[in-house]
Structure 1
Amino acid sequence: MIDTLAQALPHFRNTNSGQFFLMAGPCVIEGEDMALRIAEQVRQLTDRLQIPYIFKGSYRKANRSRLDSFTGIGDETALKILQKVGREIGVPTVTDIHESSEAALAAEYVDVLQIPAFLCRQTELLVAAAETGKVVNIKKGQFLSGEAMGFAVDKVQQSGNPHVILTDRGNSFGYTDLVVDFLNIPAMQRFGVPVVMDVTHSLQQPNQSSGVTGGKPDMIQTIASAAIAAGADGLFIETHPTPATAKSDGANMLQLDRLEKLLERLTRIREAVR
């Protein structure tokens, strides 16, 4: 699938024609049935709306506040589920990696390797991801400007891999909030790569005293709408059938049955601005 995705990547850029693309799925792979159910439902919806779709799911969560937080069902088990989703549902898949040693392993199972925001400056990690030949999605650090992400792009491209996506997920605003600067979208598009708005993570409320990240899911429509109006090439939305029971990031995820109405609205916005 990687050859098809890599060839399609330039077309994901906003050229005032065509549709935005979507990365969506659960925060973390919790099990095979749930992953397939989400992927199938979103695939049917995006096919109808002609939205290119990449299934998202973390095979392991390394950045957790508390030692007792859920981190995954096992690396190989989760990666095989991601591979099965890609094969059976017929969509590209993306997962995040946290150390350079993980790049080659994850690349055997998924199409896109994602670099978490806190790790976007880690040279060895970026180079290892680049060397797999997979598409590399780099999340902008909460502590960086859009302009500063050019160095991350350079690390991947100068390592011989032209297939880069940049994703904004907001900037730290005090200790327990994030704020989205939509000027980062055109700033990062100047590097000639597709730019995505991570809607749900930008609505997190980190560093809570409970050790569990909070969120403002009621603002998902607002952030997503503004991102499309600002010209984002794609959106990143974590979704779950029942966010209240999700094992990770449930506080800021979109309930799966609300995705259809949101995407219909966003396609109308995209049509209006192009």
Structure 2
Amino acid sequence: MNTVQIGSVKIGAGQPLALLAGPCVIEGLERSLKIGRAIKEITTRLGIPYIFKASFDKANRSSYTAFRGPGLEEGLKILKTIKDELQVPIVSDIHCITQVEAAAEVLDVLQIPAFLCRQTDLLNAAAKTGKTVNIKKGQFLSPKDMENAARKIREAGNENILLTERGASFGYNNLVVDMRSFPIMRSFGYPVVFDATHSVQLPGGAGTSSAGQREFVEYLTRGAVAVGVDALFMEVHDNPEEALCDGPNMVYVDKLEALLKDALAIDEVVRKHK
């Protein structure tokens, strides 16, 4: 099992359970920083390595008019400020090869969205930056198929790989998490992440936007940690009802600490088997 070093954070075998968390999309510097600061305070208390996440552009929206974020240039400026203020690594999505060079100057982790996980040119460009690449498993792929995605990064000369489970399509507007996917993907030799909030998303379930079932995040999180994951990915907000994107599946920041305490307790039990 490879251990991936991301700034001061190590993810992989023998390392503490890590957290990648923040708002779905950048909602301005002030609010994004407020959320990040609150998460850092919680993770510091609990001793959890923390990576801030927020998207500068949510290109895959149900509606043309849906809020996408501030865009590449402004978004990276905001992420750089948050990185400097919080002194934590940063992860965000990239959607095309023209974004890779600029994004790699700021981001510590380049994230490949689930729908783009088979895009060879994007994977190759991300790999060649030398940065850690977090590949989200497509809702249309089996866990075994992710070995091909990881191989594309490796064959481009980069072993800094994370693989993220975010649910598989189950009929229309619904996702399920196959717990077998964690040991299967982990067998490839790379750390595995569970995206606890996108996994309860109901894609397109609200017509012009996705719906979600936030009430199931805690149950799936406990299950994934019990099976054995190396990190958790969560979208967190101070008031998801006001969120400009993915509000129905985001975790309230004031509920996060209790959820993470449960995860740590379970992880302690299963750690000897990881």
CA contact 1:168–1:185 (8 Å) conserved in 2? yes
Q: Deviations over 1:35-94 (max 9, x none)?
A: 111111111111111111110000011001111100112321111111111111010000
| Mapping 1:91-110, distance limit 5 Å | 91-110=88-107
| Paired position in structure 1 for 2:38 | 41
The structure 1 residue matched to 2:165, chosen from 154, 160, 168, is 168
Whole-angstrom distance in 1 between the partners of 2:184 and 2:7: 24
Whole-angstrom distance in 2 between the partners of 1:247 and 1:219: 21
The structure 2 residue matched to 1:212, chosen from 201, 206, 209, is 209
**TM superposition score normalised by structure 1:** 0.94
Whole-angstrom distance in 2 between the partners of 1:93 and 1:5: 13
Residue type at the aligned position of 1:154: R
| Paired position in structure 1 for 2:184 | 187
Q: What percent of counterpart residues are identical?
A: 48
| Paired position in structure 2 for 1:62 | 59
Residue type at the aligned position of 2:241: A
| Paired position in structure 2 for 1:138 | 135
| Paired position in structure 1 for 2:246 | 249
Q: Deviations over 1:209-264 (max 9, x none)?
A: 62110000000100100010000111000001110110000111001111011111
Matched, 1:231 2:228: yes
| Paired position in structure 2 for 1:117 | 114
Specify the SS of the correspondent of 2:106.
coil
Aligned CA distance change for structure 1 residues 189 and 212 (closer, same or farther; 3 Å): same
Specify the SS of the correspondent of 2:134.
strand
CA contact 1:83–1:109 (8 Å) conserved in 2? yes
Matched, 1:147 2:150: no
**What's the RMSD between the two structures over aligned residues?**
1.4
Q: Deviations over 1:174-224 (max 9, x none)?
A: 011000001100101111111000000000011236211000000010010
Give the aligned length: 268
- Report deviation, 1:269: 1.1
CA contact 2:6–2:109 (8 Å) conserved in 1? no
Unaligned runs of 5+ in 2: none
Specify the SS of the correspondent of 1:167.
strand
Whole-angstrom distance in 1 between the partners of 2:96 and 2:40: 30
Residue type at the aligned position of 2:254: D
Unaligned runs of 5+ in 1: none
Whole-angstrom distance in 1 between the partners of 2:205 and 2:144: 29
